[in-house]
Amino acid sequence: MQRYSAEQLATYLKTHRPQLIDVREPWEFEICHIMGSELIPMGQIPTQLERFLQPGEYVIICHHGIRSMQVINFLHHHHIQNTINLDGGVDAWAREIDYNMSVY
């Protein structure tokens, strides 16, 4: 499993186009999210497994990196390995990369 800090991910996104999957709840996503990310709440991941079988990489994002790690562990259990966890989640992104992003 790959784990990137906010700074590492920002650098990676300059040359790569992984899909950004935010696993927080809709109300959290409304407060703030990384531009280009798609919301799939954690509870809906089991019904979305097939989408993760598509070629490409998936950056899994949550508030602090805990739920995203749980989602990645679930995906790995189902033999889906093409994932990256954003350590520190959107909170780290807001504090280190996008200073205009709301925090909660």
Tell me which residues are annotated as active site.
62
Contacts of the segment 100-104: beta carbons below 8 A, 24+ positions apart: 101/32, 102/31, 102/32, 103/32, 104/28, 104/31, 104/32, 104/63
Computed on alpha carbons and rounded to an integer, the radius of gyration of the chain in Å comes to 13
Counting every residue written for the chain, the total comes to: 104
